[in-house]
Structure 1
Amino acid sequence: MKRVLVGPLLKVLFRPWVRGIENVPAEGGAILASNHLAVVDSFFLPLVLNREIVFIGKNEYFTGAGIKGRLTAGFMRGVGTIPVDRSGGRASEAALRTGLRRLGEGKLFGIYPEGTRSPDGRLYRGKTGVARLALESGAPVVPVAMIDTDRAQPIGQRLPKPTRIGIVIGEPLDFTRYAGMENDRFILRAVTDEIMYALMSLSGQEYVDVYAATQKARIATGHAEAASSQDAGAATAPGGRPAPEVHVPVPPEDDAGASVG
């Protein structure tokens, strides 16, 4: 229903282009792990897929007061967002179980490994929940890079402005070799870093080896620049590997075939 109501308008205003759509499995459960630049990321990825996908989203989207709060909650439910309490504990575990149940039903589940939106357009350290999900479910992980959605909707801007956005989908990653090792924190970190490395390669983003939530706190206290310089020398890519030579993807030259129809 959401695609019927808002899909045509979004296509006209943002002219989304997509590359690698064939990498999304035609059937069976799969985890789509995406970088996270803007709230609208959760709108555009479902728009270009032929299969239904749901994401988890912060609980605050569902608890807002007034007309705006109700509209936001209704829209989030409409696009299939599952609320999660980001304070951790049992609520986050429940969200993980929801994802496992959906994957077990042979459906698509979307997740943002960074845990929150990037505060400055760079790619941040992934949380290991995505690795747990992959190892416990046995489902493949399909890396997805959102391009320029932060230009369409910078942090603090409620409504996105018409700006062409892109989506680059990488080849599925298979982690079944680690089956039964979901309680090994070193394996979870290695798997998460491999996923983040794929996202870095697809998106062309600079990588910062701290959590996005930590960097947001640094920005709030005025320590972001100093922390960035320190982190830049610590690691250049996930897992401490040398950074690959990457470039931010650009739209195909053939506009006639670039947008999603």
Structure 2
Amino acid sequence: MLLPRLARAMLVPLTHAAFRPDVEGREHIPRDGAVILAANHLSFLDSFLIPLVAPRPVAFLAKQEYFTGQGPRGWLTRTTLTAVGAVAVPRGAHRAAQEALETALRVLKDGRAFGIHPEGSRSRDGRLYRGRTGVAWLALASGAPVVPVAVLGTDRVQPVGARLPRPGRVTVRFGEPLRFGPPVGTAARARREATDHIMDAIAALSGQERADEYNALSGTH
């Protein structure tokens, strides 16, 4: 575990030097206990950036194959993901998606912070897409508060298709925690309403144009 800690100690100052992040609302993140950070998704960089500017470790899910790559690039990817607290999961069919949610629920039941992009994949046009209800399933199953997060500028720093980020300025805004009580009505309706509430809070922080439809899922984040 020493190597990932050393990698994180290097990544934090490098992140601040390269991206000069303007971070707002860090005080909204509880310092301990389970919490869900629900963020918009503009770039592959988002899941790396949020854990490096948050006041506590945040676990995001990452494709299992990212942890098994060979050669120097595979080692670098694996070390970086481990340094930011990423959790390996399979990707693909519905069962894999459910396994991913169950993995996330275990993270929360351990009293940790878990990060999720409710849109499911990166927005390719800058709009904020309809949220998928996995975020609400986690909130209702765990009882954890949800902190909405807006990340701005990462689409310019690392656009879709770019292999590496370039220096630039980014903003991360953490909103006030949202708490959801026991479901009223059907479970499906409760999840949908909670998800819409979360996406409204993200939109208020990001100022993005809204899209009424779901974003197309891609093979990578």
Global fold match (TM > 0.5):
yes
Specify the alignment match of 1:201 in structure 2: 204
- Give the alignment's TM-score, normalised by structure 1: 0.76
Matched, 1:24 2:26: no
- Give the alignment's TM-score, normalised by structure 2: 0.88
CA offset at residue 67 of structure 1?
A: 4.2
Rate the CA distance shift 1:212–1:94 in 2: closer, same or farther, 3 A. Answer: same
Query: Could you tell me how far apart the structure 2 residues matched to 1:61 and 1:37 are?
Result: 20
Contact 2:139/2:180 (<8 A) preserved: yes
Matched, 1:61 2:66: yes
Query: Could you tell me how far apart the structure 1 residues matched to 2:89 and 2:62 are?
Result: 6
Contact 1:27/1:107 (<8 A) preserved: yes
SS of alignment partner, residue 211 of structure 1 = coil
Matched, 1:45 2:27: no
SS of alignment partner, residue 216 of structure 2 = helix
Specify the alignment match of 2:144 in structure 1: 139
Q: CA RMSD in A?
A: 2.1
Rate the CA distance shift 1:114–1:84 in 2: closer, same or farther, 3 A. Answer: farther
Contact 2:26/2:55 (<8 A) preserved: no
Query: Could you tell me how far apart the structure 1 residues matched to 2:16 and 2:96 are?
Result: 35
Identity %: 51
CA offset at residue 60 of structure 1?
A: 4.7
* Mean CA deviation greater in 186-195 or 43-52: 43-52
The residue type paired with residue 76 of structure 1 is L
Rate the CA distance shift 1:145–1:36 in 2: closer, same or farther, 3 A. Answer: same
**Deviation string for 1:175-214 (max 9, x for gaps)?**
12428x7x72111111111111111111010111112116
Specify the alignment match of 2:103 in structure 1: 98
**Rg larger in 1 or in 2?**
1
CA offset at residue 65 of structure 1?
A: 5.6
CA offset at residue 86 of structure 1?
A: 3.6
Query: Could you tell me how far apart the structure 1 residues matched to 2:65 and 2:120 are?
Result: 14
Q: How many residues are treated as equivalent by the alignment? A: 214
Contact 1:29/1:104 (<8 A) preserved: yes
CA offset at residue 10 of structure 1?
A: 1.4
Contact 1:53/1:107 (<8 A) preserved: yes
Specify the alignment match of 1:172 in structure 2: 177
Q: Where does structure 1 lack aligned partners over 5 or more consecutive residues?
A: 217-261
Query: Could you tell me how far apart the structure 1 residues matched to 2:207 and 2:64 are?
Result: 30
- Higher relative contact order, structure no. (Cα contacts within 8 Å, ≥ 6 residues apart): 2
Contact 1:82/1:95 (<8 A) preserved: no
Q: Where does structure 2 lack aligned partners over 5 or more consecutive residues?
A: none
Rate the CA distance shift 1:23–1:72 in 2: closer, same or farther, 3 A. Answer: same
Specify the alignment match of 1:121 in structure 2: 126
Query: Could you tell me how far apart the structure 2 residues matched to 1:140 and 1:55 are?
Result: 16
Query: Could you tell me how far apart the structure 2 residues matched to 1:87 and 1:164 are?
Result: 34
* Mean CA deviation greater in 6-15 or 80-89: 80-89
Rate the CA distance shift 1:126–1:86 in 2: closer, same or farther, 3 A. Answer: farther
